[in-house]
Amino acid sequence: MVFTGPFRANTGCDLSLQCAERIPEAEAVLDLLEKCPEHQKKGSFPVIVFEGLDATGKTTVTQAVKDTLNGILLRSPPPCISQWRTVFDDESTPIKRAFYAAGNYILASEIAKASTQAPVIIDRYWHSTAAYAIATETSGEVQDLPPAQDEVYQWPEDLLKPDLVLLLTVDPEERVRRLQHRGLEKTKEEAELEANSSFRQRVEESYRRMVNPACQEVDASPSKEEVLKTVLQLIKKHCAF
């Protein structure tokens, strides 16, 4: 389970070798991936990523930041492949992760273009793909994760890097309350997060161990206004406009 180095080529191989003939959508994802230039470079505007478990406020905060900064809001996986999430979520872990990894490289092409026009706000990017993969492929408790300095926590060298990654967190009880209030059908991973506290803790700790760039943790429990104020202060501190 290595995510560093030139990861894009491995992602394409995983999709093409394992499932392109069996899953027509895999061929479509590969076609989109191949059309994206390699080693994308970002423009002069800052690129800010928001990470976190479901119901930590990402949708609300990203929209508010986008409006405040007159930015461009992007999501991972991007719309051009997001309609196939349910197809790949029912596949084996390697194929599912290859799909989400490919989505990040396709998204990088959109980020490169958008960041020449305005600040770019992103709802999930590479850290989500890596954190869930690490937590899924590690059994047991947090102490069973790869050690903090392991290369699995490094950003891939061939993927466009953001200027800032903010990790939104709330306590488990508040997060469950928000999920119940939303009343949406749970994803498989969300059901696992709720049923298996060890899995949730492994995901959260994997986020915290990410480096280059690391996640800046933000308590998303207060009011929307307070969270937005904190987020904007961090953006002002870390990003040049």
Q: What is the pLDDT of residues 39-98, one digit of tens each?
A: 899 999 999 999 998 878 899 999 999 999 999 999 999 999 999 999 998 888 888 888
Task: List, in order, residues 6 or more apart from 62 with CB less than 8 Å away.
Answer: 50, 73, 121, 122, 123
Mean pLDDT, rounded, of the chain: 88
Closest C-alpha to 221, from 184, 177, 190, 186: 177
Neighbours of 49 (CB within 10 A): 26
Please indicate, yes or no, whether the overall pTM of this predicted structure exceeds 0.95: no
220 by DSSP, 3-state: which?
A: coil
Q: So what's the pLDDT on residue 185? A: 58
Closest C-alpha to 62, from 119, 136, 5: 119
Q: Which range among 85-89, 119-123, 213-217 shows the weakest confidence by mean pLDDT?
A: 85-89
